[in-house]
Amino acid sequence: MIDQTDTQTVDPFQPVKRGRGRPSTGKAMTPAEKQRAYRQRLKSGNVTKKAETQEISVVESVIDCDLVPYDAARIKAILVELAVASADAKRRQMEVEELKAKLERAGADAEQWRKRYYDTVAEHQNDVAAILQEQGRKLSAQKALATKFQNERNTQIDKNERLRAALAGVLDGYGAKLESKDVARYRSLIS
């Protein structure tokens, strides 16, 4: 007996219900694969476009009909116009393809020039950085040299001040013992 509440147990005697939709074959192509195959068919010339087949079928059906000569002449004129327009469209399509190729080449050239420009700019920036770095080293060396000379000058000035003070003290202490002309000469050296 079958339990009506049991939904999980499969009855081996009843046929299995198939799911909805078309069954998969396991050979499905990705959209990229479909597009690649389509492009290959286009290159090989095995693909006819829908508009072309419709035009051909209309022309064939018109030609197959028994028409009045006036209509046949008119149809021939239209067919000639159609052939001219089709040739013109093909010529323009070829021009478009040529322009696309030129555009791609120009894009590649532009990219090459852009890369060359950025490389040149980078080289110049590196050169300028090296020059600035060298100038910075020279400037710091000159500052160090100027500081050294200024310290030596200050040392000499301090030494001279000490010697003047010592000479002034000597002159004050021994001024009476020296001749006045010598004292005047030493005092002129101090001031």
With a CB cutoff of 8 Å and minimum separation 6, the contacts of 181 are none
**Does the structure show a pLDDT above 90 at 150?**
yes
**Does the structure show a pLDDT above 60 at 135?**
yes
* 167, 190 contact by CB (below 8 A): yes
Q: How far apart are CA 181 and CA 191, in angstroms?
A: 16
Q: What is the mean pLDDT of the chain?
A: 80
Mean pLDDT along residues 33-49: 82
Q: Which is more confident, 167 or 119?
A: 119
Backbone Cα Rg of the chain:
53
pLDDT at 34: 92
What DSSP designation does 176 have? T
How do residues 116-132 score in pLDDT, each as one tens digit? 899 898 899 999 999 99
What's this model's pTM, rounded to 2 decimal places?
0.34
pLDDT at 107: 85
Tell me the pLDDT band of 186, cut-offs 50, 70 and 90. low
pLDDT at 187: 65
pLDDT at 149: 93
